[in-house]
Every structure is written in structure tokens, then in C-alpha cells.
Amino acid sequence: MRLFVFLLFIPFLLFGQTQKEQAVLLINKKKYQSAEVLMHKYVKSNTSDKKAIELLGDAYGHQKKWDNAIEQYKKLTQLEVNNANYHYKYGGAIGMKALSVSKIKALGIIGDVKKAFLKSAELDSEHIETRWALVELYISLPGIIGGSKKKSLKYANQLEVLSKVDGYLAKGYIYEYDDEPELAEKYYKKAVAVGGSVNCFEKLANLYELNNQPEKAIKTIEASQEKHNRNALHYQLGKVSADYNVQLEKGERCLLQYIKNYTAADGVPKEWAYYRLAQIYKHKEDSQRALTYIDKALSIRSDFKQALKEKVIISKN
């Protein structure tokens, strides 16, 4: 009899599993509203299904429906009080809400963000994402409401124990935020040496750009390209060249290569590469070719504000 009852419920169990799997696929395809509708209906009838609640919270979060996401993640922290990841997601959703409201309202909820992240860190000594969140939180908050460079570095040190690359990137982030570019460079270079990911190179190159060191930025991007061979890096080098009026021939070659090999996976739309080529030819004082590339950019997107503005500047030369 027990076997019969169990077999009777198998279709319902599989049905629920199928719905959750479908929600995962929808979220992966960025069809967040469809995932929301699917899981909202399912959670109504399965109020303690943690995976379904989490998926519903994720669907809300991807749509920036922070209050709804907070509600779902809070349920999870109540259903499983010792789950570090639930507290992390709960704190993250509150944190994102804090960024979307006025500073006065944000002050009233920032304590909940901190409490959730600290609880997550306490529950899981190896939770990397939580420690990153605490690094960013403590360095960005004013001291009067609990910000602390010392505490931020404390969690960066914990990250370094768990993952040297994350620790070095976190310290680079802290020193960059605190306007100490030499120390930021030191730790980003360490991250490049130990990890060498595209992200590590990008952090270092961006630091050089922000500190008006385009030659160093280009050298870093070239090193990244040599190791990773990503078409997107052709655009990044061309961008630096165009922005800072340096190594124009190299910048032009890279942008043309980017356009030739372009796919949607490269991230930056093709019209931006045409826009950068126009900037390069403006620097070369070749207005005719600069206008040709601006027009190519505008032929793809007629409301491209930066290109429209650049066209006016080029036309005056």
C-alpha cells in the first residue's frame, strides 16, 4: 500500500521538478518575467519549497523588483536560518534597494544589509561572495554610519586566505576606492601574476586609464590579448587609443579587427567601434574619413547620442 501511494505521487513530484527546471532555463535565457509568472504560481501551492522560492526571488531580482525579491529571500532565511547563501542573497537584495532609494531612506535599511552579510560570513567561513560584499560595503560607507577601511581590509585578508586572486583584487579595489593608485596597482599586478584572468588584466588596465596612463593601459591590454586572444580586447585597446590620442595606428588596426570578427558575444556593439574609429581620424585631422565612420555608426543606431554629438564637432573642423 505504501508503495502504491508513493508511486501515485511520483507524477506530481516530477511535475514540480520540471517546473523548477523550466524556471532555471528561463532565467538563463534572461526571460525573467516568464520565470516569475511560472514560479509565482508554483510557490502559491508549495509555500515551503525553498528552491522554488529562491528561483522566484532570483526572477524578481533580475528585474530589479527589490521589495519582491527581499520578501522571498527573507522567507528562505526563516525556513533555513543557518543557510549562509540565503542570508547573502537577502542582504544583497536589501543593498540593491538601498541604492535605488533616497539617501535618507537608504540610511534606514543599511543596518539590515550589514546584519545579513555578517550573518552569512559567520555561518560560512569560506563564503567568498559574502566577503566581497563586506569589502565593498565597508569601504563605500561613510565612517559616520559604520564605514571602515580597516574592516574592509579585514575581509580582504580573509578572501586572500580563501583565494589569493580574490584577496589581491579586493585589496586593489579598496586602495583604488581610497585614491591610493600605487597600492592599487601593486595588488592588481599581483592578481595578474597569480590569476591572470581577463578580469585581472581589465582591473589593472582600467586603473591606468583612470589615472591618465594610457600607454600602460595599452601594454596591459596587449598582455591580456596575448594570453586570452579575445576579440573584445581589440575594442578595449582601440578605445584607449581614441580616448587619449595615443598609438593611433595600432588603435585603428585593432578596431578594424574587432569589426571584422565581431559577434554579439563580444559585448560592445559594433557602432561603438565605428565611433572610436571616427575619433581616431578626428585626431589625425582627417574629417572626411571621421565623418564616414560616424555615419556608419549612425546607420546602425540613428539615436546614438555620442555619435550625433561627435558628428557636430567633426563637422566644424
Residue-wise pLDDT for 140-173, tens only, equals: 887 767 789 999 999 999 999 999 999 999 999 9
If 0-12 CB within 10 Å is exposed, 13-18 middle and 19+ buried, where does residue 113 land? Answer: buried
Q: Is the dihedral of CA 95, 96, 97, 102 positive or negative?
A: positive
DSSP letters of 154-191?
Answer: HHHHHHHHH-HHHHHHHHHHHHHHTT-HHHHHHHHHHH
Q: What is the pLDDT of residues 209-261, one digit of tens each?
A: 999 999 999 999 999 999 999 999 999 999 999 999 999 999 999 999 999 99
pLDDT at 289 over 60: yes
Task: Classify residue 65 as left (phi > 0), alpha (psi -120 to 50) or beta.
Answer: beta
Q: How confident is the model at residue 17 (pLDDT cuts 50, 70, 90)?
A: low
**What pLDDT is recorded for position 107?**
84
What single-letter amino acid sits at 302?
S
pLDDT of residue 316: 82
- Class of the domain covering 230-317: mainly alpha
Q: What is the band of 268 on the pLDDT scale with cuts at 50, 70, 90?
A: very high
Sole residue written with cell 573584445: 232
Model pTM score: 0.85
Q: Model confidence over 188-197: pLDDT tens digits?
A: 999 999 999 9
Q: Which residue do the cell numbers 546584519 mark?
A: 115
pLDDT at position 161 is 97
pLDDT at 40 over 50: yes
Mean pLDDT of the 12-38 span: 80
pLDDT at 19 over 80: yes
Which pLDDT score is estimated for 203? 98
Dihedral sign of CA atoms 277, 278, 284, 288 in order: positive
With beta carbons less than 8 A apart as the criterion, state whether 59 and 37 touch. no
| Residue 212, C-beta contacts closer than 8 angstroms, at least 6 positions apart | 244
The reported pLDDT for the residue numbered 9 is: 45
Domain spans, the chain: 230-317
Distance CA 45, CA 191 (A): 48
- Kindly tell me if the per-residue pLDDT of 2 is higher than 60: no
Query: Tell me, what's the pLDDT at 144?
Result: 67
Give the pLDDT confidence of 64-74 residue by residue, as tens digits.
999 999 999 99
